[in-house]
């Protein structure tokens, strides 16, 4: 979704279909399909898997995923050694799985990506805590 925004799509104009599309494989949602076109906010809030995969109606998904990987590199998120978006034999697998989070990332990497998404595509580098104060032990934990 973030890369759609980075590519110039307006968040208020993006509507993603929450349901299967004839002739195309579509993952099931947790729960049932709404069979409606949802905004990015609604799709995320309701964890709609079909919407994530149905970005293929708006753009070429593999190119979009490659752009995501380029953006991750700019955000210092390391490449996933198990991911090969250029392998044509894995095209359908990647179209179905990549938007659903099949990429290996640390929790900080995921937080960084969501930060950009929730800021409508604007990247602001996160500053994780190096230590914290534990009031029960009256000490700083590193």
Using the predicted structure, report yes or no on whether residue 134 has a pLDDT greater than 80: no
Query: For residue 87, what pLDDT is reported?
Result: 96
**Position of tokens 């955000």?**
75
Cα 34 to chain centroid, rounded: 21
- Which range (1-15, 43-57, 71-85) has the least confidence? 1-15
Share of the chain above pLDDT 90, in %: 42
Query: For residue 6, what pLDDT is reported?
Result: 76
Mean pLDDT score of the chain? 87
Query: For residue 5, what pLDDT is reported?
Result: 81
pLDDT tens string 22-44: 999 998 888 899 999 999 989 98
Where does residue 125 rank: exposed (0-12), middle (13-18), buried (19+ CB within 10 A)? exposed
Query: For residue 66, what pLDDT is reported?
Result: 94
Query: For residue 126, what pLDDT is reported?
Result: 81
Question: Whole-structure pTM over 0.95, yes or no?
Answer: no
Where does residue 23 rank: exposed (0-12), middle (13-18), buried (19+ CB within 10 A)? exposed
């Amino acid at each position: 979704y973030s890369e759609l925004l980075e590519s110039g799509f307006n968040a208020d104009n993006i509507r993603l279909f929450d349901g299967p599309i004839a002739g195309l494989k579509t993952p099931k949602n947790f729960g049932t399909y709404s069979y409606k076109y949802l905004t990015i906010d609604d799709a995320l809030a309701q964890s709609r898997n079909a919407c994530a995969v149905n970005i293929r109606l708006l753009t070429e998904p593999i190119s979009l995923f490659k752009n995501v990987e380029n953006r991750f590199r700019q955000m210092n998120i390391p490449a996933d050694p198990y991911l090969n978006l250029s392998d044509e034999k894995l095209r359908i697998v990647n179209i179905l799985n990549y938007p659903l989070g099949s990429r290996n990332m640390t929790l900080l990497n995921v937080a960084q990506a969501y930060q950009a998404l929730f800021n409508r595509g604007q990247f602001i580098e996160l500053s994780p805590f190096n230590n914290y104060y534990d009031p029960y032990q009256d000490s700083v934990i590193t």
